[in-house]
Amino acid sequence: MKRSKIVLAYSGGLDTSVALRWLRDTREADIYCVIVDVGQREELASIARRAMQIGAADVLIEDARDDFAREFVFPMLRANARYEGAYLMGSCIARPLIARRQVECARRLGADALAHGATGKGNDQIRFELTYAALAPDLQVIAPWRIWDLRTRLDLIAYARDHSIPITMGSDGGDPMSIDQNLMHTSYEGHLLEDPSCQPPDDMFLHVPDVGNTPDDGELVTITIAGGDARAVNGTELSPREALETLNRLGERHGIGRCDMVESRILGMKSRNVYETPGATILHAARRAAEGLCLDKEVLFLQEELMPRYARMVYHGLWFSPERQVLQVAFDKAQEAVNATIIMRLRKGIVDVVERHAAGGLYHKELASFDDRNYRHGDAEGYLRLAGLRLRLWARSRAGSLGGR
């Protein structure tokens, strides 16, 4: 009988390493590991060696950094998406891409099943599996965390030790923190952070330093935005990936983009996460400044109403859903008008917009000023007479009913 093939999304962390060994030992199958490079700044070749050592039949390394920036991060930024007012969703947006690459590898290998190392409590399982549902409804899905009888990360550590699986321990020798990194952000969760009253240790932050250790002098950065996307930084044209990389470097130098928050997970529990999102924080601010000059008032208003719904879809793993795609078309259409150059000062964790330039924008100096030449102040009277009509009627009826009592 032909042995079946399982394609596992492998990161080299504790969960996926244990999942790999557990799948190999419990299934009559060859386990293929896919490592998707989304800019996690890790040594992927050594992660691949680790997978082979644990028992993978083969490892595929997929460089998806350009796709990630161009097809996922930039479209999401066009919607100004933030979840619960703060989270720029760096982890949410990587999952559909990783899952899509995994499906592509499964097709190439003629595999039967897809597997991931996400827990049964978290958001990532949902993002992986809703992507599988949308792109590969015919493939079987295996989620080891929902099957095995390991209950905690400490159980996983013990399993790893028993099976000589190499893992990185926490600094105190205990449960390691769960870190998720890509071109857009670094997220920290678990361990010490599980107590929301506990401050993150300063040595936790991998990329964005405390503002006590950033230069006193700020730095100006010029971002050119075309069709809502960053096209150039300081006058140099860049691809979406290069723009993110460049802005990450600048943001990291100035302590920009830390965010410590408690968020509502998809399944309802609250979870405390700390994020570092340097480049995208700068880009988000630049885009908002450009929209201020270029977007029609009602379009802006509509965008602001639709954004939380869009953000919810992305957070909830619905990137490949018809509803997200419908909203995307609306955002993309609106963003055609967003063309501007924004100059910002980065200093001590703060992004300040200091100059805005938009040749074809909606801002007209002569209209905004108190100059009378192109505007008749008297015109506002008619507007106020009509806008106030129903309020006067309402006030009169109230006075009448109160008087009649």
> Which residues here bind ligand ARG, judged by CB under 6 A?
91-92, 123-124, 178, 180, 187, 189, 271, 273
Q: What SS3 class is residue 402? A: helix
Contacts of 235 (CB under 8 A, 6+ apart): 222, 224
Distance separating alpha carbons of residues 319 and 321, to the nearest angstrom: 6
In 3-state terms the chain splits into helix, strand, coil percentages (rounded to 5) of 45, 20, 35
Handedness of CA 201, 207, 211, 216 (dihedral sign): positive
Q: Residues 232, 223: contact at Cβ < 8 Å?
A: yes
Per-residue three-class SS string for 280-332: HHHHHHHHHHHHHHHCCHHHHHHHHHHHHHHHHHHHCCCCCCHHHHHHHHHHH
Spatial separation of the C-alpha atoms in residues 178 and 190, rounded to whole Å? 6
Min dist. Cβ of residue 92 to ligand ARG (A) = 5
Establish whether 210 is a catalytic residue.
no
Question: Annotated catalytic, 124?
Answer: yes
* Distance of closest approach, residue 187 Cβ to ligand ARG, in angstroms: 4
Maximum CA extent, the chain: 92
Smallest distance, Å, CB 258 to ligand ARG?
15
Closer residue to ligand ARG (CB): 154 or 220? 154
Concerning whether 178 is annotated as a catalytic residue, the answer is yes
Which of residues 178 and 339 has its CB atom nearest to ligand ARG in the complex?
178
Entry field: residues in the chain: 405
User: Nearest distance from residue 271's CB to ligand ARG, in Å?
Assistant: 6
**Catalytic: 15?**
yes
Closest approach of Cβ 180 to ligand ARG, in Å? 4
Count of CB atoms situated within 10 Å of the CB of 371: 10
List 67, 124, 175, 229, catalytic entry: 124
Contact 276, 185 (CB under 8 A): yes
- Choosing from 91, 178, 187, 271, which is the catalytic residue? 178
For the bound state, the minimum distance from the C-beta of residue 98 to ligand ARG, rounded and expressed in Å, comes to: 11
Question: Where does residue 200 rank: exposed (0-12), middle (13-18), buried (19+ CB within 10 A)?
Answer: middle
Of the residues 21, 24, 78, 95, which is catalytic? 95
E strands of 54-182, at which residues? 58-63, 113-115, 140-142, 178-181
List of residues 6+ apart from 87 with CB closer than 8 A: 259, 261, 263, 273, 275, 315
197, with CB counted inside 10 A (0-12, 13-18, 19+), is exposed
For ligand ARG, the closer of residues 176 and 251 by Cβ is: 176
* Cα-based distances in Å from 251 to 72, 116, 256: 21, 32, 5
Smallest separation (angstroms) from ligand ARG to the CB of 350: 24
User: How many Cα atoms occupy the beta-carbon half-sphere of 248 within 13 Å?
Assistant: 20
Nearer to ligand ARG, 78 or 185 (CB): 185
For residues 14 and 243, which CB has a smaller minimum distance to ligand ARG in the complex? 14
Catalytic residue (one of 15, 30, 175, 229): 15
The catalytic residue positions are 15, 95, 124, 178
